[in-house]
Each structure stands twice: as C-alpha cells, then as structure tokens.
Amino acid sequence: MNRKNMIGLGIAVLSLLAPLAATRAAEDLRPTPEATCKKLPPAKGKSRQRFDATSFMVVAGELEAQGEKNFRLAYEPPKGECLVERIDLAGQNVTAIYNPWEKGTQTLLYRFVTEDKAREMLVLYNSLVGLVAKGGYGFHVSETRNGIVSFYAMFKEEPTYEAVKNIASEILSESAKPLLAVRWPEGAKEGEVVAFDSSRLK
C-alpha cells in the first residue's frame, strides 16, 4: 500500500464507527486557565506506549474525515482545565495545562504551550483506538505545525505527567521524531502521509 494512501485504512475503520466520531474542531488556541490544579495530574503509572500502526491510522483517518478545511487536531470542549506549572522545556518557557480525563470521542488531557504561543503540543484521548486496537486505550501526543500534524507517541493507559512532559521537551528540542505525520496539500482531494516510522510502527 502506498504511504500516501495509508490514511484510507483509518477512513475504512471510521466508516464503521461514524456515530461515535462527531467532535468539533479545536480552537486555534484556547486561553490559559488562571486556576491552578487543586488535584495534581497522575504521578504514578505504567505509561506504556503503543506502536501498532493501526492505532495511528485510526486517528489519522479521523483527521482526514474532517476534510481539508478542518484538517487539524480536534477535541471536545474540556470541562476542567487547570494550570499545572510554568516551566522551562528545552530552553523555552512553557505553560503546562491539565484537564482530568474525560471519556468522550476525543478529549483533551494536557496542553503544553510555549510563551510566544507559537507552538502547542496536545495529549488527547481517542476512544476509537480502544475499540479498534487490541488492549488498552489511546492517548496520543501530537502537534500541528506548518500545516503538518505530527504524532509523536501514543499510550495504552493514561500517561503520567512526567511521561508526557518529557516528550514535549523532546519535541521542542527536536530530538523526538514523529511516528506518523500527515498533511493535506492545498487543492488536493485527500490528505497524505509525509512521515511514517516503519522501524518503530508495526
């Protein structure tokens, strides 16, 4: 199968799960919550990553199903965002935001926003992954930048704060490479895969 057509696998899956796939596109950048977290995010857990290509194709297929106009990461409006901390990651001032896990179609768990608001890394829960893949859930660490949506990791269970903070730091330092990256070229009829790490994804 040509890599440019691999998103079609996700679309085929989504056609079977269409009633569950309704979610609105995320705002360009949500405001930073003023309230600090009364309950800290999980500090203990396994944070096991998934490396099955099917799980990544599911979220990429859902993204393509939104169409060219809405080709960006989407999630349901979070209900309990709070400020975890303001920290230095890879030499950049970053605001870490947490939203306690909500079981929806695709919901927000974390946001890491740079001080200049030029970059925002998201940790999203996707319920479709749990229905399609074998065992566990799907929490992916992703970023939209320059029209490309990159998926850097996916966890089988709710990841700890340290686990996702470390990945956000690696993304900003450019030491992390996406497992999967997709885009929708202007005027094209469909999205395409621009990066697929076949050494890690099986």
pLDDT-derived band of residue 114, with 50, 70 and 90 as boundaries? very high
pLDDT at 13: 41
Domain boundaries, the chain: 3-196
Over the stretch 9-64, which tens digit does the pLDDT of each residue have?
A: 444 444 433 333 344 344 467 889 989 999 899 999 999 999 999 999 999 999 99
Cα–Cα dist 126/15, whole Å:
16
Instruction: List, as one string, the DSSP characters of 30-49.
Output: PPPPSSBPSSPPP-----PB
As given in the structure block, the two tokens for residue 14 are 């989504």
- Give the residue-averaged pLDDT of 99-120: 96
pLDDT at 28: 63
Cα–Cα dist 8/15, whole Å:
10
As given in the structure block, the two tokens for residue 37 are 């977290």
